């Protein structure tokens, strides 16, 4: 009856003794006396007469819920529940309510977590008169005896989430095998080697390529970060350029230290594969220099996840589409700040982030009481005839480009959502796997498994087309910037093209018959994600800087 009351009544509040969870099967011997047996506190071992209930049933041993075979099984299952991954993923939310930032004030009000004012102690500004003191003291004592007091507030920021068993095992395995995936065994321990890697000459800006021939690629490192395919690689918005954020089909977000070829931190986001990632720096308030990093993550489960990477806490988890989210973009110019998402449900949707962040002096800033923002609201959507497989936004030119499952490419006005032009792929009926606009907004590169094309979006003229030679050399992803085009193949190689002369100048053998899944450039280095969960790093330097 107590169990039912706790679950169904708002006024039935109970605190459970540690004995409810102390099972000998979990090696609690050091905390529990040996002569005690599991769940013995639930038994009336000394046949004490507790009387008879209103239904003529004598009170004896505690009557257990129907899912418990006996008192030992009850305690064991309670402990299993306490140690479960579900509790690990949500325990911090309870801490926030009882001991943390949601215990008092506006946060408590918004989460319906307010109690009688006397349970919080005597107000600081209350000075009782002599005639009131006795009655008030009696009132306080009665309140405490009947109801209790709210615990002391220990935390004033969201509490980090506990690691699940899988995450903990993953971490231990990563620590144990940290040297396996490092090309040079001295990388982790030899500071001189790290310093040499950091000072190697690099082309810092791809725009500088136009001053001379394309640079030279020099292998730097390789590290396996995920158990399955890497889907996105982005620079960490606050940490040095040697830190990258990656997501994969294993549902993890990882912070990768390139200079040491090892994982710094990681977060389990979803049990389904993750598909897209953006990360931004955000000021805590308008009058401070304190900043944190937010990661926006799309998933196979149709949901968007927003994580604070400094605290390891989730700010939002919301279903945004009726199918897989394939790509996302966060505006940095518009007011309010917008989130743009594409999906296999054949829509692109625009969402307002005005309850979470705003733009001030070209910087993102948390809104006041941003913790209270439980959902984001859609502004408008654009519907297409086929699943949206990829998306690219060039905000400064108000351009939104969408690639579809049926091979169609749409160019839209980002502000109004109107479709400006529809293009037909050079490989009709094949899905568009990736696309990218040149920074001036004049040319669009897109790729299918059979062909890659660069098109003049004003005239619709194809200015460059390359078709694959065989199924073993099918295309999978691309990188497009200025006059450089890199094509990632399923056989693990990358073709580098100089579009000024329309010639292939390099073939990089990244991995042996392991598909290239994503390509990213940051601070003079290229990073290639592969289907086995690895990230391959290459320094990109001018021919004038490297001795070839």
CA 270 to chain centre: 9
Least confident piece of the model among 160-169, 233-242, 275-284, 420-429: 160-169
**What is residue 394's predicted lDDT score, i.e. its pLDDT?**
95
CB-based contact 333:323 (threshold 8 Å):
no
| 147, 162, 183 - which closes a domain | 147
User: Whole-structure pTM over 0.85, yes or no?
Assistant: no
| 353, 383, 413 - which closes a domain | 383
Q: Residue 547: which pLDDT band, with cuts at 50, 70 and 90?
A: very low
CB-based contact 530:510 (threshold 8 Å):
yes
Within a domain: residue 508?
no
pLDDT digits (tens, 9 = 90+) for 100-114: 989 988 889 888 898
- Cβ atoms within 10 A of the Cβ of 106, count? 12
**What is residue 326's predicted lDDT score, i.e. its pLDDT?**
97
| 147, 178, 212 - which closes a domain | 147
Residue 266 belongs to what H/E stretch? strand 262-268
What is the total residue count of the chain? 548
Of residues 495 and 205, more confidently modeled: 495
What are the residues facing 535 on neighbouring strands?
223, 529
- Cβ atoms within 10 A of the Cβ of 208, count? 12
Least confident piece of the model among 67-76, 193-202, 464-473: 193-202
**What is residue 261's predicted lDDT score, i.e. its pLDDT?**
84
What are the residues facing 102 on neighbouring strands?
none
Within a domain: residue 100?
yes
pLDDT digits (tens, 9 = 90+) for 431-476: 999 999 999 999 999 999 999 999 999 888 899 999 988 888 899 9
Within a domain: residue 352?
yes
Domain that holds residue 338: 273-383
pLDDT digits (tens, 9 = 90+) for 252-281: 999 999 988 888 889 999 989 999 999 999
Task: Write the CATH number for 359.
Answer: 2.40.10.480
The pLDDT of 408-412, averaged and rounded, is 96
**What is residue 442's predicted lDDT score, i.e. its pLDDT?**
92
Q: Residue 189: which pLDDT band, with cuts at 50, 70 and 90?
A: very low
Task: Write the CATH number for 61.
Answer: 1.10.1540.10
Within a domain: residue 56?
yes
Within a domain: residue 333?
yes
219-241 as b/e: b if 16+ CB within 10 A: ebbbbbbbeebbbbbbbbbeeeb
Provide the mean pLDDT of the chain. 85
Within a domain: residue 402?
no
Closest by Cα among 340, 270, 339 to 302:
270
Tokens 């001036």, located at residue: 440
pLDDT digits (tens, 9 = 90+) for 108-151: 988 889 888 778 876 655 566 565 677 777 777 777 777 778 88
Q: Residue 33: which pLDDT band, with cuts at 50, 70 and 90?
A: low
Residue 538 belongs to what H/E stretch? strand 534-541
Residue 48 reports pLDDT greater than 50: yes
Within a domain: residue 33?
yes
Number of structural domains found in the chain:
2
From CA 64, how far away is CA 59, in angstroms rounded?
13
Closest by Cα among 411, 334, 345 to 379:
334
**What is residue 212's predicted lDDT score, i.e. its pLDDT?**
44
CB-based contact 483:210 (threshold 8 Å):
yes
Residue 401 reports pLDDT greater than 90: yes
User: Hey, which of 53-57, 151-155, 228-232 has the most confident mean pLDDT?
Assistant: 228-232
Within a domain: residue 108?
yes
């Amino acid at each position: 009856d107590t169990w039912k009351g706790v679950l169904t009544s708002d006024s039935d509040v109970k605190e459970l003794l540690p004995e409810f969870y102390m099972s000998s099967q979990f090696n609690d011997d050091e905390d529990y006396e040996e002569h005690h047996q599991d769940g013995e506190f639930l038994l009336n071992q000394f046949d004490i007469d507790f009387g008879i209930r209103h239904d003529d049933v004598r009170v004896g041993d505690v009557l257990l819920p129907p899912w418990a075979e006996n008192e030992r099984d009850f305690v064991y299952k309670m402990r299993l529940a306490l140690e479960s991954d579900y509790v690990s993923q949500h325990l911090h939310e309870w801490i926030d309510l009882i001991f943390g930032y949601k215990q008092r004030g506006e946060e408590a009000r918004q989460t319906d977590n307010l109690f009688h004012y006397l349970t919080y102690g005597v107000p600081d500004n209350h000075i009782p008169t002599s005639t009131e003191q006795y009655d008030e003291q009696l009132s306080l004592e009665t309140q405490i005896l009947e109801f209790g007091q709210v615990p002391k507030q220990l935390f004033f920021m969201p509490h980090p989430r506990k690691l699940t068993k899988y995450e903990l095992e993953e971490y231990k395995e990563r620590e144990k095998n940290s040297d396996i995936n490092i090309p040079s065994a001295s990388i982790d321990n030899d500071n001189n080697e790290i310093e040499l890697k950091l000072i190697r000459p690099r082309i810092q800006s791809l725009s500088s390529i136009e001053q001379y021939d394309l640079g030279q690629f020099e292998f730097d490192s390789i590290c396996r970060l995920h158990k399955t395919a890497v889907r996105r690689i982005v620079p960490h918005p606050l940490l040095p350029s040697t830190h990258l954020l990656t997501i994969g089909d294993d549902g993890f977000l990882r912070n990768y230290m390139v200079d040491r070829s090892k994982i710094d931190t990681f977060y389990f986001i979803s049990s389904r594969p993750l598909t897209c990632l953006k990360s931004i720096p955000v000021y805590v308030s308008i009058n401070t220099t304190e900043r944190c990093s937010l990661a926006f993550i799309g998933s196979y489960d149709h949901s968007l996840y927003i994580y604070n990477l400094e605290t390891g806490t989730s700010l939002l988890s919301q279903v945004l589409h009726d199918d897989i989210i394939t790509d996302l973009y966060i505006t940095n110019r518009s007011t309010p700040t917008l989130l743009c998402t594409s999906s296999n449900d054949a829509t692109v949707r625009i969402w307002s982030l005005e309850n979470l962040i705003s733009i001030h002096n070209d910087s993102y800033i948390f809104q006041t009481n941003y913790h209270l923002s439980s959902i984001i609201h859609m502004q408008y959507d654009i519907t297409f005839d086929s699943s949206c497989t990829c998306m690219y936004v060039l905000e400064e030119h108000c351009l939104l480009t969408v690639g579809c499952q049926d091979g169609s490419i749409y160019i839209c006005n980002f502000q109004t959502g109107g479709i400006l032009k529809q293009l037909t792929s050079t490989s009709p009926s094949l899905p568009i796997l990736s696309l990218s606009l040149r920074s001036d907004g004049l040319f669009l590169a897109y790729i299918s498994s059979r062909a890659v094309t660069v098109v003049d979006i004003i005239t619709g003229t194809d200015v460059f087309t390359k078709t694959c030679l065989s199924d073993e050399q099918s295309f999978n992803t691309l990188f497009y910037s200025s006059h450089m085009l890199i094509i990632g193949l399923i056989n693990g190689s990358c073709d580098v093209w100089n579009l000024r002369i329309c010639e292939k100048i390099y073939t990089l053998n990244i991995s042996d018959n392991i598909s290239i899944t994503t390509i990213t450039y940051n601070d003079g280095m290229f990073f290639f994600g592969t289907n086995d969960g690895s990230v391959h790093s290459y320094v990109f330097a001018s021919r004038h800087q490297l001795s070839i």
